[in-house]
Amino acid sequence: MLAEQDLLALKQGGESERVELKPSTAQGHPIRRALCAFANDLAGGGEPGVILVGLEDDGTCGGLGDRDEAQQKLANWAHGGDILPLPDVEIYHRDLEGCPVIVVEVWPHVEPPVRYQGQAWVRVGTTNRRATPEQERRLAERRRGGDRPFDHRPAVGASLADLDLDYFQREYLPNAVSPEVLEENQRTTQDQLQSLRFLTDGQPNNGALLVLGHDPATHIPGAYLQFLRIDGTELADPIKDKKTLTGALPGVMAQLDELFDVHVQIAVDIEAAAREQRRPDYPVAALRQLARNALIHRDYEATHAPVRIYWFNDRIEIQNPGGLYGQVTRENFGRGVTDYRNPLLAEAMHILGYVQRFGFGVPLARRHLRENGNPEPQFHFEPTYLAVTVGAAQ
């Protein structure tokens, strides 16, 4: 958080390679482009870019309006998923010489290029411009390698032959990169994989295998899901259905959606006036949110255990290896606080439409369950795993 004297100096200096002035949050697209450009830090200065919202170009007061509302809007823009990977920002308000201002500090990202709606933006002088292919290559070469998360690390022994490149071209690219960029930029597939962070040091990384791999479990033994439908309330009761879901995460999630549709039962109540009311024992939308969270946020590195879904007659238990991660704690879990053990997986699943908005999976699941008449889900936190138990609707 910058000191007041530093903010005053930035205000008086006007727009620069590090500073953007905006009179209000009415200019949504330009502000998000600036967020993206500062996160890319093309100049390589290593210092945060600063957006001062509430100031005209000449430094006079703009029309900020309700300060809390503006601050919330800026936070939603930064973390809503239009900018990927998620930028590292700090947002706070200050009064500068009698002018209410929202300060947005944007730190250079450790895994550029960062994209807004599929397009990388960079800061050139006082303007934000679409990155050229050469600028994107420069950004990619600057990635820090010493403390990469698991999904960014090279997959030992993997090659491009382990990836479904047809799926990458057909499904992933059109969702990840804007059509204008694809049309203008005739890159090789390897360059495209590199630009979207699926290659590390020229080799497919663990995230690439999990999202695009023909058989991720060949290199990541725990990369599968075990599903049991049990006819009873105990593990020792008879098994009605058993599935092992393998392959890349998009395919696993699609198979799991089909399983949920098959096993959810619809209860029919005939009320007064012959009005029929239909209610499932579990809302599929809630189960999808919880299962996808388990697959995306699990620990793939320290264990060979799968994600497990055990469906009993009175409840469903979903368990994933790996406890809470980073800044997420028991107290703030499910309240919009986010951190990512597997940031590349989270980004990819958002691009493919399996994650709609970061940090809202658990709140959405809770809402769907509540509206369907299910009890509140019970979360269990352990150092080596996280589990949730969902009771059937009464």
Print the domain residue range for 12: 4-130
My answer on whether 121 and 75 are in the same domain is yes
Does 358 map to a domain?
yes
Within-domain flag for 231: yes
Place of tokens 């957006």: 51
pLDDT at 142: 66
Secondary structure (H, E, C), 28-84: HHHHHHHHHHHHHCCCCCCCCEEEEECECCCCCECCCCCHHHHHHHHHHHHHCCCEE
The verdict on residue 345 lying in a domain is yes
Say which amino acid occupies 107. Answer: W
Q: According to the 3-state scheme, what is the secondary structure of the chain? A: CCCHHHHHHHHHHCCCCCEEEECCCCCHHHHHHHHHHHHHCCCCCCCCEEEEECECCCCCECCCCCHHHHHHHHHHHHHCCCEECCCEEEEEEEEECCEEEEEEEEECCCCCCCEECCEEEEEECCEEEECCHHHHHHHHHCCCCCCCCHHHCECCCCCHHHECHHHHHHHHHHHHCCHHHHHHCCCCHHHHHHHCCCEECCEEEHHHHHHHECCHHHCCCCCCEEEEEECCCCCCCCEEEEEEECCCHHHHHHHHHHHHHHHCCEEEEECHHHCEEEEECCCHHHHHHHHHHHHHHCCCCCCCCCEEEEECCCEEEEEEECCCCCCCCCCCCCCCCCCCCCHHHHHHHHHCCCCCCCCCHHHHHHHHHHHHCCCCCEEEECCCEEEEEEECCC
- pLDDT for res 145: 46
- 288 domain residue, yes or no: yes
Of residues 29, 84, 39, the one with CA closest to residue 351: 84
In the prediction, which pLDDT does 4 show? 87
Give me 285's structure tokens: 């939308």
Domain check: are 113 and 53 in the same one? yes
Flag whether 349 is in a domain: yes
364 and 277 in a single domain? The answer is yes
Looking at the structure, do residues 171 and 46 belong to the same domain, yes or no?
A: no
User: Domain end: 199, 218, 237, which one?
Assistant: 218
State the pLDDT at residue 90. Answer: 92
Query: In this structure, are 240 and 372 located in the same domain?
Result: yes
Claim to verify: residue 292 and residue 342 sit in the same structural domain: yes
Same domain for 206 and 229? no
Single residue among 130, 163, 188 that ends a domain in this structure? 130
Q: Does residue 137 lie in a domain region?
A: no
* Rounded Cα gap, residues 40 and 34, in angstroms: 10
Question: Same domain for 297 and 279?
Answer: yes
Residue 141 is predicted with a pLDDT of 67
Residues 235 and 378 grouped into a single domain = yes
Q: Are residues 269 and 387 in the same domain?
A: yes
Q: What is the pLDDT along the chain (394 residues), one digit of tens a residue?
A: 888 888 888 888 889 999 999 999 888 899 999 999 999 998 887 889 999 998 988 888 888 888 899 999 999 999 888 999 889 999 999 988 888 999 999 999 988 889 999 899 999 989 999 998 878 877 876 665 446 889 999 998 999 999 999 999 999 999 988 887 777 767 889 989 998 999 998 899 999 999 999 999 999 999 999 999 999 999 999 999 999 999 999 999 999 999 999 998 875 554 544 455 677 999 999 999 999 999 999 999 888 999 999 999 999 999 999 888 877 888 888 777 777 889 999 999 999 998 877 777 888 999 999 999 999 999 999 888 999 999 998 7
| CA distances to 14, 66, 67, 194 from 96, in Å | 14, 16, 14, 43
* 383 belongs to a structural domain: yes
Q: Are residues 167 and 190 in the same domain?
A: yes
CATH of residue 236's domain is: 3.30.565.60
CA diameter of the chain: 74
Number of folded domains that form the chain: 3
The pLDDT, as a whole number, for residue 92 is: 92
Among the candidates 218, 234, 258, a domain finishes at: 218
Q: Under a CB-based contact definition with an 8 Å cutoff, are residues 115 and 37 in contact?
A: no
28: domain CATH number is: 3.30.950.30
Asked if the structure places residue 136 within a domain, the reply is no
| Residues 261-314 pLDDT 10s | 999 887 555 454 445 567 799 999 999 999 999 999 999 988 899 999 999 999
Q: What are 79-138's pLDDT values in tens digits?
A: 888 999 889 999 999 988 888 999 999 999 988 889 999 899 999 989 999 998 878 877
Distance CA 234, CA 222 (A): 25
Are residue 234 and residue 186 in the same domain, yes or no? no
Residue with tokens 């007064």: 272
Q: Nearest 10 degrees: CA dihedral of 273, 276, 279, 284?
A: -140
Phi, psi angle pair for 81, to nearest 5°: 110, -5
Distance CA 258, CA 380 (A): 26
